[in-house]
């Protein structure tokens, strides 16, 4: 089944690639093999869906797999710039890979559209006029969660994240808008699979709520173990820990968990229902947050190509900055540092029929922007 899906996507890419009219060339570097492949596949499929729906045949896409290795990503970026001579790059999932690639490609005059990952450096001092983040600044979901917790009368929390920059940033982001007390901060090992020790610590704590960020398999392991431990502290986290691909593996153990996101498949904004249906029809699975980001990245690119010529960088940049497209997230605009201004919602994990999925229960932050903009001198 996977193979069929892949064949479909490759065919779409090939169809776009064979176009003789190609005016804009896009290089997509994303993770398509190994443990993190599901995120890259979703971004790629969402992106290609948007291009396909646009009906344009003047956008050529070259797709490469970075294997989640920074050095491979750098090498592929060199390839895209030096031999493929692309105009626009996109696709990177992980912050550390983005940090390795983005500064050098934007310095070489290429545009980079981030469909995921927004490290703080690139939003602040290291911002660049050719770098557009279509997803979020890394802290966004955490800040929204922190302010939601304060507004909903939660007085004390226990925080947990892996001991690496994105984890530390997440915890810092939560604390930035949280007004109650932080009972404890737990830093786990990256790639850790057993959380018995942490769970014991959480149970021993008096905190009213647990907020955690554990991406991918780490989050799956933790949530399964947590729900079986008899611990009763309610759980909240960023959407990355409770996305569709992950919920399928956690199952009912995740029911009732709150998580912050800028998108949900039940979000009632124009175009979203159509996107969900089209994605499901094309690829045979529910779209995830990453698919939505990939789709929006595609829409943004198409909107810019429609109004400006990529050979005129200033015009193209202005067209991107205008963000003149109907995001499946609702209202979307770029702040001065080219990072999103968008609403962030609170979702709850529920069961719909047999499927464990997310439902929106409220808004956590309205027109949210990141805290690093003032440091950016573009």
Partner 1 sequence: MSRETLVNLTMLAGLVLVPLWALWADEPFTITLATRAVILALAAAGLNIALGIGGLVSLGHAVFFGIGGYAMGVLAYHAQTYTPLMEAPVLIEGTKSMPVIWLVALVASALAAFVIGLLSLRTSGVYFIMITLAFGQMLFFFTISWARYGGEDGISIYLRNGFPGLNTLVPIQFYALCLTLLVLTLALTAALMRSPFGLALNAARQVPERVRAVGLDPFRLRLAAFTLSGAITGLAGALFADLNRFVSPSMFSWQLSGEFIVFIIIGGTARLFGPVVGAVLFVALEHWLGGISAYWHIWFGLLLLGIVLFGKGGVIGMIAGRARTHD
Partner 2 sequence: MTLILLVEQVLNGLQFGIMLFLLAAGLTLIFGVMGLINLAHGSLYMIGAFCAAAAAAATGSFLLGLVAALAGAAAAGALIELLVIRRLYARDHLDQVLATFALILIFSEGTRWVFGSFPLYLDVPEALAGPVTLPGGIQYPLYRLTLIGAGLSVAAGLFWLIARTRIGVQIRAGENDREMIAALGVDIDRLYTFVFALGAALAGLAGALVGAIQSVQVGMGEPVLILAFVTIVIGGIGSIKGALVGAVLVGLTDTLGALFLPALFELVMAPAAATQTGAALASMAIYILMAGVLIWRPTGLYGARA
| Residues engaged in binding partner 1 (CB under 8 A) | 6, 32-33, 64-65, 69-71, 74-75, 78-79, 82-83, 95-96, 99-100, 103-104, 107, 119, 163-166, 168, 189-190
Asked if 197 touches partner 2 (CB under 8 A), the answer is yes
Task: Check: CB of residue 330 under 8 Å from CB of residue 343.
Answer: yes
If the CB atoms of residues 107 and 204 are measured against partner 2, the closer one turns out to be 204
Instruction: Kindly indicate which of the ranges 35-43, 134-142, 298-306, 344-352 contains the residues binding partner 2, using the contact rule CB under 8 A.
Output: 35-43
**What is the C-alpha separation between 270 and 179, in angstroms, rounded?**
35
Nearest-approach distance from CB 119 to partner 1, in angstroms: 7
What does 246 bind: partner 2, partner 1, none (CB cut-off 5 to 8 Å by kind)?
Answer: partner 2
What does 165 bind: partner 2, partner 1, none (CB cut-off 5 to 8 Å by kind)?
Answer: partner 1
If the CB atoms of residues 170 and 340 are measured against partner 2, the closer one turns out to be 170
Asked if 201 touches partner 2 (CB under 8 A), the answer is yes
Residue 32 neighbours by CB under 8 Å, 6+ apart: 40, 41, 44, 63, 65
If the CB atoms of residues 104 and 163 are measured against partner 2, the closer one turns out to be 163
Residue from 10, 18, 152, 163 binding partner 2 (CB under 8 A): 163
DSSP line for 345-367:
EEEEEEEETTEEEEEEEEEEEEE
Asked if 256 touches partner 2 (CB under 8 A), the answer is no
> Which among 247, 335, 228, 331 has a CA at the least distance from the CA of 289?
247
Task: Check: CB of residue 241 under 8 Å from CB of residue 215.
Answer: yes
Question: What burial class does residue 1 get, using C-beta atoms within 10 Å of its C-beta: 0-12 exposed, 13-18 middle, 19+ buried?
Answer: exposed
Asked if 165 touches partner 2 (CB under 8 A), the answer is no
Dihedral over Cα of 161, 37, 40, 256: its sign: negative
Question: What burial class does residue 85 get, using C-beta atoms within 10 Å of its C-beta: 0-12 exposed, 13-18 middle, 19+ buried?
Answer: exposed
Task: Check: CB of residue 145 under 8 Å from CB of residue 236.
Answer: yes
If the CB atoms of residues 165 and 330 are measured against partner 1, the closer one turns out to be 165
**What is the C-alpha separation between 226 and 7, in angstroms, rounded?**
39
Asked if 181 touches partner 2 (CB under 8 A), the answer is no
Asked if 156 touches partner 2 (CB under 8 A), the answer is no
Nearest-approach distance from CB 108 to partner 1, in angstroms: 11
Asked if 168 touches partner 2 (CB under 8 A), the answer is yes
């Amino acid at each position: 089944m996977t193979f069929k899906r892949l064949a479909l996507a490759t065919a779409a890419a090939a169809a776009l690639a064979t176009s003789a009219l190609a005016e804009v060339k896009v290089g997509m570097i994303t993770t398509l093999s190994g443990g993190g492949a599901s995120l890259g596949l979703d971004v790629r499929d969402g992106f290609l869906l948007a291009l396909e729906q646009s009906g344009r045949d003047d956008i050529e896409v070259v797709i490469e797999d970075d294997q989640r290795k920074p050095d491979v990503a750098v090498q592929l970026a060199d390839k895209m710039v030096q031999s493929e001579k692309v105009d626009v790059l996109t696709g990177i999932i992980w912050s550390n890979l983005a940090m390795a690639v983005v500064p050098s490609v934007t310095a070489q005059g290429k545009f980079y559209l981030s469909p995921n990952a927004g490290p703080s450096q690139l939003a602040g001092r290291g911002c660049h006029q050719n770098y557009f983040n279509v997803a979020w600044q890394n802290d966004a979901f955490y800040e929204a969660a922190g302010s939601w917790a304060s507004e909903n009368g939660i007085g004390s929390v226990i925080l947990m994240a892996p001991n690496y920059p994105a984890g530390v940033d997440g915890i810092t982001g939560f604390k930035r808008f949280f007004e109650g007390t932080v009972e404890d901060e737990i830093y786990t090992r990256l790639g850790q699979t057993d959380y018995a020790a942490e769970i014991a610590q959480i149970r021993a704590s008096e905190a009213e709520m647990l907020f955690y960020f554990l991406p991918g398999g780490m989050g799956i392991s933790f949530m399964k173990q947590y729900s079986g431990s008899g611990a009763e502290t309610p759980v909240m986290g960023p959407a990355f820990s409770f996305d569709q691909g992950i919920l399928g593996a956690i199952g009912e153990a995740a029911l009732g968990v709150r998580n912050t996101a800028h998108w949900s498949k039940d979000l009632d904004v124009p175009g979203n229902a159509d996107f969900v249906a089209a994605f499901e029809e094309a690829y045979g699975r529910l779209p995830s947050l990453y698919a939505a980001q990939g789709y929006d990245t595609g829409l943004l690119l198409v909107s810019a190509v429609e109004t400006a010529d990529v050979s005129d960088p200033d015009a193209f940049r202005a067209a991107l900055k205008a963000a003149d497209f109907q995001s499946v997230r609702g209202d979307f605009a770029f702040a001065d540092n080219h990072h999103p201004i968008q609403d962030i919602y609170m979702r709850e994990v529920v069961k719909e029929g047999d499927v464990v999925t997310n439902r929106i229960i409220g808004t956590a932050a309205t027109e949210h922007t990141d805290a690093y903009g003032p440091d950016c001198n573009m």
